Amino acid sequence: MLCGGATAVGPCLESPGPPAFDGFWGMRVYLAEWRGQKVALSRLSSLNYLEDFLHGLSMLQALQSPQVVQLVGFCLEEHIILTEHHPFGSLLNLDDVLEKEHYQQHNNWEMRLRLAIDYVTILHYLHNSPVGRRVMCDSNSLEKTLSQFLLTNDFHLVVNDLDALPEVDMSRNLSVKCGHREVTGDFVAPEQLWPFRNNGKPFSDNLMPEYDEKTDIWKIPDVTWFLMGKVPGGDLVHFHLFQIHEKCKKKDPTDRPSAFDVLKVYKSVYSSMVRDSAGFRDML
C-alpha cells in the first residue's frame, strides 16, 4: 500500500510482522522490507506522543547527514516512519556484539576510541546543526543515552532518537529544561538537578532553572568510559583523556569545553596512539 496525499513520502507497509521492540516517541518498531531493502518501521502506539512523533520526524528530515540515521520515508496518515535498518541495534548492544566470535577482532582500543570520536562528532553536529543548537534531552541515564545511538555494520555510530532535541539560542534568551519532572543521579549535569532539594523544598517545574547544551558535555566521560570497555590499551586512552574529561565535569557549565574542543583532543589522542603503536611494532 502506498501513502496517499501530498504530505506522504515513501510507503506505508501493511502487516510488517510482529514488533521487534518498543521504540522511542511511544513507538513500536518493526523489521520490514521495502523494494528489497530491510528497513525499520516505527509506528506511533499512542496519540499521547503525537507531538513528540512530529518533532522527531521534523528533526530527522532537517538533520539528515552521515551522523544521523537515514530517513527512508514516512506516512503522516498512519503515523509511520521508515528508517535505515541497522542489525546490531542500539549502542547498548556493543559488548554483546563484540563477544561474538565473528566480531572479536574489532574489540580493541582503536575501534572503541573511534566510536567515542563518532559520539562526540554527533554532539558537535547537533550543537551546530542547520536548525540551530540542539540539546540531547533524552539522556537522563547512561542506558537511555546509549539507546539513542545505533551501531552500524562497519562499527560506526549514527544518532537515531531525535524526538527530544530542544533548541538553545542565548541571543534570543532561549534555553531548555529536559522534561517537567525532577531528575536525579550523578549522570545528569549539576544544573539539571533541583537546586533546593537540600532545603527540603519540593520540586516545582516553574522554579526549576533552565540550562544549555553544556549538559551534553558533562556526560561525555561516562559514555566514553562505557565505550572503551576493558581492552588492552584502554587505560592509556583514559590517561590521555583525563585532562579534557576533568574539564567536562566542571560544575560551572561555562567552564566546560565545547564538543568541538573535546573532539579535537579525542582525534589528537587517537592519532598519537596510532603513531606510537606503529613505531613500537617497527622496533620489534
pLDDT above 70 coverage of the chain, percent: 88
pLDDT confidence of residue 215? 98
Residues whose CB falls within 8 Å of the CB of residue 80, separated by 6 or more in sequence, listed in order: 12, 13, 41, 42, 43, 44, 74
The per-residue pLDDT for 148 is 95
pLDDT classification of 200: cutoffs 50, 70, 90? confident
pLDDT at 204: 95
pLDDT at 86: 96
CA distances to 77, 115, 189, 263, 272 from 276, rounded to whole Å, are: 56, 20, 35, 20, 6
Task: Measure Cα distances from 57 to 69, 79, 164, 221 in Å.
Answer: 12, 10, 11, 29
3-state secondary structure of 96: helix
Mean of all residue pLDDT scores within the chain = 89
Is 28 exposed, middle or buried, given 0-12, 13-18 or 19+ CB atoms closer than 10 A? middle
- Count of CB atoms within 10 A of residue 236's CB? 14
Mean pLDDT of 4-21: 41
* pLDDT: which is higher, 284 or 16: 16
Query: If pLDDT is split at 50, 70 and 90, which confidence band does 181 have?
Result: very high
Tell me: pLDDT of 245 over 60: yes
Give mean pLDDT, residues 32-37. 87
Band the pLDDT of 193: cuts 50, 70, 90.
very high
Task: For 80-137, write each residue's pLDDT tens digit.
Answer: 999 999 999 999 999 999 999 999 999 999 999 999 999 999 999 999 999 999 999 9
